[in-house]
Amino acid sequence: MTSTPPTHQNRRLVLEAVSRFGAGDIAGFTELLSEDFVSHNPRVAHDPTAQSGRQAFADYLSGPGSAHLRDATVTAEHLLADGDLVAVHTHVVAPQGDLATVDLFRVDGDTIVEHWDVVQPIPDEVLHPHGMF
C-alpha cells in the first residue's frame, strides 16, 4: 500500500482552502483552519485570551474590512509546497481593483495552523510585457 506524501496532502488542503475562499464560502474556508490558527496579517485583531485564532480570522473575513474580498474572484496561479509549508500565488479580481497575492500557509495534519500574506495591487499599466502572473 502506498501512502500520499505529506507535501501532496498539504498542497491539496491549501488548494481546497483557496477554492472555498474564492467561492465566497467563508464558513467552509475557516473549517480548514486549526482552532489555534495564527494569522500574521496586521489587520486581523486577535486576543488569544478572548477567542480562538480561527474565530478571529473568521470575524475578520466576515467584517467590513474584508468586504472587497468576499466579492472577489480568486484564482490560484502558482503553488509551491515543501513539507508543512505551502505558498500560493493568486490573482484576486475585486470590485476595488485586482490584486496579486502570495499566501504562505503552515499545515499540521489536516488543518492550516499558520498564515502569512503579501498583497500587491495590480496597476492599470504594467511597464513590461510579462504580466503579473
| Domain residue ranges of the chain, discontinuous segments joined by + | 6-121
Distance separating alpha carbons of residues 60 and 66, to the nearest angstrom: 7
Express each pLDDT in 76-99 by its tens digit.
Answer: 999 999 999 999 999 999 988 999
pLDDT band, very low/low/confident/very high, at 44 (cuts 50, 70, 90): confident
Give the closest residue to 80 by CA, choosing from 19, 7, 6, 3. Answer: 7
Note the pLDDT of residue 86: 97
Q: Is 133 exposed, middle or buried (0-12, 13-18, 19+ CB in 10 A)?
A: exposed
Distance separating alpha carbons of residues 47 and 86, to the nearest angstrom: 26
Quickly name the fold that domain 6-121 has.
Answer: Nuclear Transport Factor 2; Chain: A, (3.10.450)
pTM assigned to the model? 0.89
Question: Greater confidence, 65 or 125?
Answer: 125
Distance separating alpha carbons of residues 45 and 84, to the nearest angstrom: 25
Share of the chain above pLDDT 70, in %: 96
Distances (CA, A) of 76 to 50, 53, 130: 33, 24, 18
Instruction: Name the DSSP letter for residue 53.
Output: H
| β-pair partners for 32 | none
Note the pLDDT of residue 5: 63
Express each pLDDT in 5-40 by its tens digit.
Answer: 688 999 999 999 999 999 989 999 999 999 999 999
